[in-house]
Amino acid sequence: MKKMKVTIMALAILLSIGGAFATKLRSDDACLTATQYHKVGTAYVPCGLYGTNFDCSVSSNTCTYWMNPATNQYEQCHIGTWAFLQ
Partner 1 sequence: MLIYQALAGEPLYCCMTKRQVLLETISALLIMLFLYASISKFLSFRVFILEMNNQPMPNSLTPFLVWTIPSLEIAIATALIFERTRQAGFYASFALMTLFTIYTVVILLHFFRYIPCSCGGVIRKLTWRQHLVFNLFFVTISVLGILLKRGNFLNTITSTKNKNSFV
Annotate 53-69 with b (16+ C-beta within 10 A) or e (fewer): ebebeeeeebbbbbbbe
Task: Please tell me whether residue 46 binds partner 1 under the rule CB under 8 A.
Answer: no
Task: Please tell me whether residue 55 binds partner 1 under the rule CB under 8 A.
Answer: yes
CB of 42 to partner 1, least distance (A): 26
Task: Please tell me whether residue 86 binds partner 1 under the rule CB under 8 A.
Answer: no
- Please check whether residue 44 is in contact with residue 38, taking contact to mean a CB–CB distance below 8 angstroms: yes
Q: Which residues bind partner 1 (CB under 8 A)?
A: 1, 4-5, 8-9, 11-13, 15-17, 19-21, 23-25, 28-29, 32-33, 49-52, 55-58, 78-81, 83
